[in-house]
Chain A
């Protein structure tokens, strides 16, 4: 953290988005996390993605649980709605908010402790139900706030800062999300914004449960030799299957790629994702293939990143439940309570 507020001055040549905002307008308060925390880079990436998509800040609800990661919504989108909920309960609060007002963009921000330990069940059910949200896990493999114990995502065999070897098996949240039916699954790295920013932008455009696991080195407790979540380790073992560009609007794709190397995915909101293949055989529409690919590479100690799975025709919880188009929180009393004659009709139909 720092003692001074970030100066209000900004670069005089900053570009403005369609709404006339610069990326500085999407900032929140100054971070109180440790210097160099990977989470701050994820914060910067969320800011960049929202700026690029020209999102109106008041149309976003950012919801988090407890932990270093869950503090970060304070540091971006200072003009959005926010709910810093109970430990591990972000998915429930988000699901409730989403049901009450389906018109907002939901950003769930959580950590490996919040989602893989105390909130593991909550995580599973929100994904399983297909809540329309962008669920970001800022995954550093340690409990930073309690000084660096292994979290549930720490790899077996990796070493703590004190030199203790982890003997528990790791939970791979990406594998779980795929298994539970998430319709947008990605993994990225806080130290690679060029990959992360478009992933976040694409996830926001996705209708359904989007899940992004972002490996985010903990500078204070998990950035040493022997860690598998350090800057050096992730950079050495990063196996990106693709890079993507998010294209807003319907302009032709100007970038000139070699034929067969680009796959265009049209999203529900009209935006398109141009996927530049790095691994020619990787198919991001094959859930089963993705699971196998992940398992094979994990066994080799490689960290697979990129857009791993996307179903552009996904449905969300509201469609499953057949709720009305109007957000529930704006339904008037006479709609919600149409009177005894309607009740009589319903009763009659059940007799």
Chain B
């Protein structure tokens, strides 16, 4: 193998698995260390810069970082990254002084369709640069789906108000209750750029017999949730069936439990394991006495005199074809009918752009989605950008944020007369953490604690009031314990070939047997000659150039604890622990365009 180029910004970035997996590339270990030090405001600001909604995401994020967390490969469970983010939000001081100050307007106007996470992120990035940002939303308050679709017992209004408030406080104009009905009309208002962050607002229908006849008791999940959110709906029948296996279904069933539903069940077509809902959301639902029944496909709504009485399901089983694709085929067992008073349909969401006229210069593909460049988020109309669910269909808030940052950068570049396809490189800082012979500026003593549970409110109390938040969040002590579980993967092991005397001290001390000194070879061959088996080929090998004996140092990054013992036991300083900090380029940051040396 060729010697690893650690100057390439991506190499060490990949080692920080959580940050690499996060669509917004939040510097996770950095903020976790700050939490451990009690510097909650600093931790919050790092998050705020990167993911804009730390308090909201700390409660609702889909956590792509956690399955990636190295700790999950070392022991059973990853670090509770998401809930630590909430800790930063919960315990911070007043951070208003740290927010960007309003600047004189630069005369350029940007319109936003929809006031959800994508639009607000773009506005957050552009307003401090002097752009006049106008956000239109049909709802009276900002937040979009964060406010209307996520139940209050998971995400209280106060948190949404606070974090949308920080953005609107930057001088962003918010026009609530103002639905954009025509793109053509909006274009005619001569905005310099338009950002469409209107989400995926339409709940998918379930067109089976009885749907029309029993319509009074069949509700589309996301519409019903927003109706509950605005207080238009405050009760439901005692027996409720929720159809669908995603997170919306979980929100529906738990909301139903709080509005009078006593016998609430979730019924899904697929198997329990393949459900789209996050595992912790399924757990929370089950904890609230909501059974989840699987392999049942709804075939008809049963009704009596226009009143819904139940739903009939066909029993299916999973069969896998030669290519490993799953098909649901009838199991041959008799159909099963469940009685109920109400049904909530949460079988997916769709985009809908009836308000974009065909002659706006915005092209759509065969799935009726706008043609959007996945890097620049520009549509075929150079002035119109898309982001969030509106761009590529339903995903999570953190994706909307990440796309928002990219779209903001494009808008800023376009309005600065620059080529939007030229994307600036991230800024990378690498610095040694050595303080003394055995002292590092990070805590390298590896905690063996198991993941700490987030305290929940007592179920009886939680189910009584729809606005009572169920999760109480970590207290300071639990947060400290959980923060110590972080392996500081951003503190990198950096090897200097010229200093190595091949004494084997690092290979001997490494608790995870990551380091091997051996003859070089092709990657496949090398992976078979490591001191400990290579379990994850997607994890990189760090290979040195040739050493004095002609061998090379090979480090399997996979399960390195970043404990720094290799560097402590190295007599010549050939190993050093260096903190790698990567900042993604947002609109307005000084943009390096050449690759910077990482070490």
Interface positions, chain B 518-569, Cβ under 8 Å from A, are 532-533, 535, 548-549, 559, 561, 563, 565, 568-569
From 78 to 124 in chain A, residues with beta carbon under 8 angstroms from any chain B beta carbon are: none
B561 partner, pick from A7, A14, A43, A232, beta carbons under 8 A:
A7
**Does A10 make an interface contact (CB < 8 A)?**
yes
11 interchain pairs, CB-CB under 8 A: A2-B438, A3-B438, A10-B511, A10-B512, A31-B569, A36-B501, A36-B570, A41-B503, A41-B504, A41-B505, A231-B503
Q: Which residues of B contact A9 (CB under 8 A)?
A: 74-75, 446, 448, 511-512, 559, 561
Closest to A217 in B: B503
Q: Does A223 contact B (CB under 8 A)?
A: yes
6 cross-chain pairs, A with B, having the tightest CB-CB distances, nearest first = A36-B571, A7-B446, A11-B532, A13-B533, A44-B508, A36-B503
Minimum CB distance partner of A13 in chain B: B533
Contact check, B565 vs A6: say whether CB atoms are below 8 A apart.
yes
- In this complex, what residue of A is CB-closest to B439? A3
Does B496 lie at the interface of the complex (its beta carbon under 8 Å from any beta carbon of A)? Answer: no
Judged by a CB distance under 8 angstroms, whether A37 is at the interface is yes
**How far, in whole Å, are A15 and B535 apart by their CA atoms in the complex?**
13
Chain B residues closer than 8 Å to A7, beta-carbon distance: 446, 448, 511, 561, 563
Assuming the contacts A8-B448, A9-B446, asked whether A40 and B505 have C-beta atoms less than 8 A apart, the reply is yes
- A64 → chain B, closest Cβ, in Å? 19
How far apart are A230's CB and chain B's nearest CB, in angstroms? 9
List residues of chain B with CB within 8 A of the CB of A30. 509
The answer to whether A37 touches B448, judged by C-beta atoms less than 8 angstroms apart, is no
Which A residues touch B162, using CB under 8 A? Answer: none
Task: Tell whether, in the assembled complex, residue B501 and residue A231 are in contact, meaning their CB atoms are under 8 Å apart.
Answer: yes
Q: CB within 8 Å of B: which of A1-34? A: 1-15, 24, 30-31, 34
- Name the residue on B nearest A223 (C-beta): B501
| A235 and B569 contacting across the interface, CB-CB below 8 Å | no
Task: Return A16 CB to nearest CB of chain B, in Å.
Answer: 12
Instruction: Say if the beta carbon of A193 comes within 8 Å of chain B.
Output: yes
Helix, strand, loop or mixed for chain B's interface?
Answer: loop
Contact B561 A11 (CB under 8 A): no
Interface contact A1-B438, CB-CB below 8 Å: yes
A35 contact set on B, CB distance < 8 A? 505, 568-571
The answer to whether B445 has its CB under 8 Å from any CB of chain A is yes
Closest to B448 in A: A8
Q: Say whether A144 faces chain B, with CB atoms less than 8 Å apart.
A: no
**Does chain A have a CB within 8 A of B73?**
yes
A38 contacts the other chain (CB 8 A): yes
* Nearest-Cβ distance from residue A11 to partner chain B, whole angstroms: 4
User: A: which residues have CB within 8 A of B?
Assistant: 1-15, 24, 30-31, 34-38, 40-41, 43-44, 190-191, 193, 217, 219, 223, 231-232, 235
Q: How many Å from the CB of B552 to the closest CB on chain A? A: 16
Contact of A36 among B75, B532, B559, B569 (CB under 8 A): B569
Interface residues of chain A: helix, strand, loop or mixed (majority): loop
Least Cβ–Cβ distance between A144 and chain B, in angstroms: 13
A153 to chain B, nearest CB (A): 20
Do residues B502 and A231 form an inter-chain contact, with CB atoms below 8 A?
yes
**CB atoms of B535 and A12 under 8 A apart:** yes
- B503→A11 contact, CB < 8 A: no
Q: How many A-B residue pairs have CB under 8 A?
A: 101
Whether the Cβ atoms of B571 and A219 lie closer than 8 Å is yes
Contacts of B509 in A (CB 8 A): 6, 30-31, 40
Residue of B nearest to A194 (CB): B518
Measured between beta carbons, the chain A residues less than 8 angstroms from B74 are 9, 12
Q: Mark B441-458, 1 if CB is under 8 A from A, else 0.
A: 000111010000000000
| Complex CA–CA separation, A24 to B532 (angstroms) | 12
A7 to B564, CA, bound (A): 11
Complex Cα spacing A219 to B505, Å: 11
Report Cα–Cα, A232/B503, bound state, in Å. 10
- Would A36 and B572 be within 8 Å (CB), given that A10-B512, A41-B508 are in contact? yes
Q: Chain B residues near A3 (CB, 8 Å)?
A: 438-439
Q: Which residues of B contact A37 (CB under 8 A)?
A: 503, 505, 571
A11 B508 Cβ-Cβ under 8 A: no
Does B513 interact with chain A (Cβ within 8 Å)?
A: yes
- State the CA gap A30–B561 with chains docked (Å): 17
Across the interface, name the chain A residue whose C-beta is closest to B558.
A11
Of residues A1, A11, A31, which shows the largest number of chain B Cβ atoms within 10 Å of its Cβ? A11
Smallest CB–CB gap between A252 and chain B, Å? 24
Q: Bound complex: CA of A320 vs CA of B559, how far in Å? A: 53
Q: Which residues of A contact B75 (CB under 8 A)?
A: 9
Give the residue among A7, A12, A190 with the most B Cβ atoms within 10 A: A7
Q: Once bound together, how far apart are the Cα atoms of A8 and B561, in whole Å?
A: 11
Residues of chain B within 8 A (CB-CB) of A40 are 504-505, 508-509, 569
Instruction: Identify the interface centre among A3, A6, A9: most chain B CB within 10 Å of its CB.
Output: A9
Q: How far is the CA of A235 from the CA of B547 in the complex (A)?
A: 13
In the complex, the answer to whether B569 meets A11 with C-beta atoms within 8 Å is: no
Which residues of chain B are near A44, meaning CB under 8 Å?
Answer: 504, 507-508
Taking A10-B511, A40-B508, A219-B571 as contacts, is the C-beta distance between A4 and B563 under 8 angstroms? yes
Specify which chain B residues have a CB less than 8 angstroms from the CB of A6 in the assembled complex: 509, 511, 565
Decide: A34 and B512 in contact? CB cutoff 8 A: no
Specify the chain B residue showing the minimal Cβ separation from A193: B504
Q: What are the residues of chain A within 8 A of B504 when measuring CB–CB? A: 40-41, 44, 190-191, 193
- Nearest CB in chain B to that of A43: its residue: B508
Q: How many angstroms from the CA of A222 to the CA of B572 in the assembled complex? A: 14
CB-CB < 8 A to B507: which residues of A? 44
Distance between Cα atoms of A37 and B548 in the complex (Å): 19
Within 8 A of A (CB), among B54-85: 73-75
Q: Which residue of B lies closest to A30 (CB)?
A: B509
Contact status A36-B505, CB under 8 Å: yes
Against A, the Cβ 8 Å flags (1 = close, 0 = not) of B97-117 are 000000000000000000000
B538 CB to nearest chain A CB (Å): 15
Nearest A residue to B511 via CB reads: A7
- Residue numbers in A under 8 Å from B508 (CB-CB): 40-41, 43-44
What B residues does A43 contact at CB under 8 A? 508
Contact B513 A14 (CB under 8 A): yes
Residues of B contacting A219 in the complex (Cβ-Cβ under 8 angstroms): 503, 571
User: Which A-chain residue is minimally distant from B549 (CB atoms)?
Assistant: A235
Selected from A2, A13, A217, A231, the residue in CB contact (under 8 A) with B535 is A13
Point out which of B73, B509, B569, B570 has the most chain A C-beta atoms below 10 A from its C-beta: B569
Chain A residues with CB below 8 A from B563, complex form: 4, 7
B571 touches A2 (CB 8 A): no
A-chain residues with CB within 8 Å of residue B570 when the two chains form the complex: 35-36
